[in-house]
Amino acid sequence: MSVKTNDRLERLREFTRPDRVFDFLVPVQSPVDVRHGPILYLEDVSVSFDGFQAIDRLNLTIDDGELRCIIGPNGAGKTTMMDIITGKTRPDSGQVWFGSRHDLLTLDEPQIANLGIGRKFQKPTVFEALDVTENLELAMAGDRRVWRTLLARLDHEGRSRIDEVLETIGLGDERHRLAGVLSHGQKQWLEIGMLLMQRPRLLLVDEPVAGMTEPEMQRTAELLTRLAGQQSVVVVEHDMGFVRSIARTVTVLHQGSVLAEGSMDEVASDPQVVEVYLGGEEEAA
């Protein structure tokens, strides 16, 4: 028997392994590899829209379990950066890695979401025609394939998980109300609740406290700080008071690249930052 035949037999055996009859039934296990530290790694990412350089050679590293705030003036590319991470926008060049195993540029939005990256939009986006519980149910981690979704029933575990999240976000009394009739702040909370249901490894939170009252803001700050540690959280926010209250590390974006990075005080005393951003605020205030 030649080596070639042997090789062929070996390949045939692959097909007849009893534990692997239906490959497509084996769930795809894709744990995020964070042994090397960072959970999110952006290198030299650039993207331009019609000649406008939205992101310009951006480098950013988020460690596992970190809570990072990203600030920056209008058009600094904060939302575009989130679009790139979640697969909505493809960069012209550069690399984006989730852990050290997953190249996010080869995946699309649902795949990235199922890997464990959750996103909260700037404008609260909840499903207005569904009630609060249903919104949370849809966000619940689970099999997202069409047939499974058709047959899915809310089991006891799922129900208690929803109750748990409802309590966390303080919408227990609104559980059967349509999401469309909630107040702006409540919608923000519901969307945060949906993120929690997803159990993501990395949360991208775009302006979580826009339109919230002072006590609501405090509760949000509390929640986000509590989440960090188990999950990595990236917060884009304009509200300086809020950023000051939660931030350990702050990254300042300006014209599509990182202008400064460090603790809030370091960043605030950086003359460049003061010029493009914080100074403007003080003047206005």
Binding-site ranges for other proteins (CB under 8 A): 73-75, 78-79, 86, 88, 109-110, 113-114, 118-119, 121-123, 125-130, 134, 137-139, 144-146, 149-154, 178, 180-186, 194, 198, 207, 210-213, 238-239, 280-281, 284-285
**Closest approach of Cβ 3 to other proteins, in Å?**
43
Both structure tokens of 231: 């999950």
Q: For the chain, percent helix, then strand, then coil, each to nearest 5?
A: 45, 25, 30
**Closest approach of Cβ 8 to other proteins, in Å?**
35
C-alpha span between 264 and 240 (Å, rounded):
10
Nearer to other proteins, 140 or 223 (CB): 140
Torsion, Cα 12 16 17 23, to 10 degrees, reads 100
| Tokens 């986006």 belong to residue | 125
Nearer to other proteins, 56 or 134 (CB): 134
Both structure tokens of 122: 């700037």
**Closest approach of Cβ 245 to other proteins, in Å?**
16
**Closest approach of Cβ 18 to other proteins, in Å?**
30
For residues 237 and 245, is the Cβ–Cβ distance under 8 A? no
Nearer to other proteins, 36 or 144 (CB): 144
141 alpha-carbon distance from chain centroid: 14
Please state whether beta strands 232-236 and 249-254 pair in parallel, antiparallel, or not at all (unpaired). unpaired
**Closest approach of Cβ 45 to other proteins, in Å?**
19
CA distances from 197 to 3, 20, 63, 97, 104 (A): 53, 32, 22, 24, 22
Q: Angle at the Cα of 141 (from 140 to 147), degrees rounded to 5?
A: 95
C-alpha span between 268 and 243 (Å, rounded):
12
Nearer to other proteins, 215 or 271 (CB): 215
**Closest approach of Cβ 284 to other proteins, in Å?**
4
Nearer to other proteins, 4 or 145 (CB): 145
Nearer to other proteins, 92 or 128 (CB): 128
Nearer to other proteins, 17 or 209 (CB): 209
**Closest approach of Cβ 9 to other proteins, in Å?**
38
